[in-house]
């Protein structure tokens, strides 16, 4: 299964991406996480991307395309992959198409998790990340700021502050929304209602993906087989 996840910030791309990657046995490739890791490790990539990420702007297309291309060449992507946070511009979507064509493969679907802008703002304000295990959760005002999974301390992502978050929404609407139309025109768009509980969103995605015409791609238990059939 080869997927991209689309949706406003905090729509649930990361959460659903993790669940889907487990379900299909494919790597969850998050460009945002790769950039944050590079910033933490203070690599050259981290230094070149920090200012964009801290202000909620997109990092230049060239950098995003390069790290994704490198990642897709790794062996674990041969069975499929899930891209979370990429492509974010039509230029990135076009580059991805060219890269995949060179590899003789194509995407199966672009899952678009739909939530309102008001809901995105509410979720971003309440979003916390575990400093220990990196899992993401929603907190209620005054609630415990401790991770349910591992008991680690919960922190707010620096780019989840109100000003940066508002800019990320504007950037999404201006630069990433056209990517939704890009995939709609190619018949790859799978829209899902992101305003439901996590399990229901997941069930809806699985149900819609199971209806795709992927005859030889997955075996009975839904796990990828490594057969690289190409869907038109």
Supply the residues annotated as catalytic. Answer: 13, 88, 127, 157, 168
DSSP type of residue 224: B
Q: Are strands 2-7 and 109-114 parallel, antiparallel or unpaired?
A: parallel
For ligand AMP, the closer CB: 37 or 146: 37
Q: Which residues, in sequence order, are CB contacts of 171 under 8 Å at separation 6+? A: 56, 57, 58
Q: In the bound complex, what is the minimum distance in angstroms from residue 114's beta carbon to ligand AMP?
A: 17
Q: Which of 7, 17, 27, 56 touches ligand AMP (CB under 6 A)?
A: 56
Q: Tell me the per-residue interface mask from 133 to 172 with ligand AMP, x by CB under 6 A, - otherwise.
A: --------------------------x--------x----
Query: Strand order of the sheet with strand 154-155?
Result: 136-138, 127-130, 154-155
Q: Is 123 in the site for ligand AMP (CB under 6 A)?
A: no
Taking CB under 6 A as the criterion, the residue among 25, 52, 90, 231 binding ligand AMP is: 52
Cα–Cα distance measured from residue 97 to residue 126, given in angstroms and rounded to the nearest whole number: 35
Question: Do 159 and 171 form a contact (C-beta atoms < 8 A)?
Answer: no
CA distance 136 to 206: 21
State which residue, 35 or 217, has the beta carbon closest to ligand AMP. 35
Residues that bind ligand AMP (CB under 6 A): 9, 31-32, 35, 52-53, 56-59, 64, 85-86, 88, 92, 159, 168
């Amino acid at each position: 299964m080869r997927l991209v996840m689309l949706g406003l910030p905090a729509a649930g791309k990361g959460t659903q991406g993790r669940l889907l990657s487990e379900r299909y046995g494919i790597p969850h490739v998050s460009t945002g996480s790769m950039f944050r890791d590079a910033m933490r490790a203070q690599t050259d990539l981290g230094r070149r991307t920090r200012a964009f990420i801290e202000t909620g702007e997109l990092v230049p297309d060239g950098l995003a395309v390069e790290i994704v291309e490198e990642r897709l060449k790794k062996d674990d992507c041969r069975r499929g992959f899930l891209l979370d946070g990429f492509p974010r511009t039509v230029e990135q979507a076009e580059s991805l198409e060219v890269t995949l064509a060179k590899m003789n493969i194509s995407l199966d679907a672009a899952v678009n998790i739909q939530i309102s802008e008001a809901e995105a703002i509410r979720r971003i304000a309440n979003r916390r990340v575990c400093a220990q295990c990196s899992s993401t959760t929603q907190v209620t005002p005054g609630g415990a700021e401790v991770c349910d999974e591992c008991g680690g301390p919960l922190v707010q992502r620096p780019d989840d502050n109100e000003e940066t978050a508002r800019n990320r929404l504007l950037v999404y609407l201006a630069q990433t929304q056209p990517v939704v139309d890009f995939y709609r025109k190619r018949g790859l768009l799978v829209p899902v209602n992101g305003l439901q509980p996590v399990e229901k969103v997941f069930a809806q995605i699985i149900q819609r993906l199971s209806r795709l015409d992927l005859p030889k791609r997955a075996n009975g238990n839904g796990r990828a087989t490594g057969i690289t059939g190409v869907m038109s």
